Amino acid sequence: MHKSANSQSGVVLIVVLIMLGIFSVIVVSMLSGSNINFKIAGNQQFRFEAKTAAKAALEAYISNSANFASPLPLINANYAFDLNGNGIDDITASVLPPKCLRSLPIKLIGLDPSDPNDDQCWKSGQKPETGIFTDEIVSGNSDCSEITWDVQAEVNDAVTSAEITMHQGLYLRANIGTNCI
């Protein structure tokens, strides 16, 4: 009877050690899984910050009409952003010079005689003061064209390795003869 009690206590020790090993493996796998989730969440945040910086840089670039006037800028415009409010720039977006995609003349019929912005587009003496359009006004081209632009912003953050390229299309009204390179 004494012999079977000793053999049972050895079996209990082995079972406990096996269970401890299994629980250790489970805990280690849970910790590594949570680290992966933290990395995924961090990468999503870095991508969102890069996307926000690219959008803000595009907005700033597009709002400056000098960027679309002759001569066109030849170098990239850089915009730095402080995302956490500590006074140090965290991320920089670079906006490439705009690319002209096409230039189409605006028809005289497409102009509004009451809109002062359209005054520069009327050919000399053709602005209808009476509201009556002649055949020449209906079928002819104005002195303005619609220029379609593609503006591209790039963010390459060396600290977080976040990279994004964002495009914004827009069209502007310009006088005929404005460069579309």
pLDDT at 57: 96
As for how many domains the chain has, the answer is: 1
d(CA 40, CA 55): 23
Q: Classify residue 125: in a domain, yes or no.
A: yes
pLDDT at 54: 95
Q: Which amino acid is located at 95 in the chain?
A: V
Q: Classify residue 51: in a domain, yes or no.
A: yes
Q: Classify residue 181: in a domain, yes or no.
A: no
Q: Which of 77-81, 117-121, 166-170 has the lowest mean pLDDT?
A: 117-121
DSSP string computed for 61-92: HHT-GGGGSSSPP-S-EEEEE-SSSSSS--EE
Q: Residue 82's domain spans which residues? A: 2-175
Residue with the larger pLDDT of the pair 86 and 37:
86
Q: Classify residue 180: in a domain, yes or no.
A: no
Which pair of tokens denotes residue 25? Answer: 């493996």
Percent of the chain with pLDDT over 70: 83
Q: Return the residue matching tokens 């009451």.
A: 114
Q: Which of 2-6, 65-69, 165-169 has the lowest mean pLDDT?
A: 2-6
pLDDT at 155: 95
Spatial CA neighbour of 143 closest among 112, 113, 175:
175
| pTM, 2 dp | 0.69
What is the sign, positive or negative, of the torsion defined by CA atoms of 85, 45, 75, 169? negative
* 18-31 average pLDDT score: 89
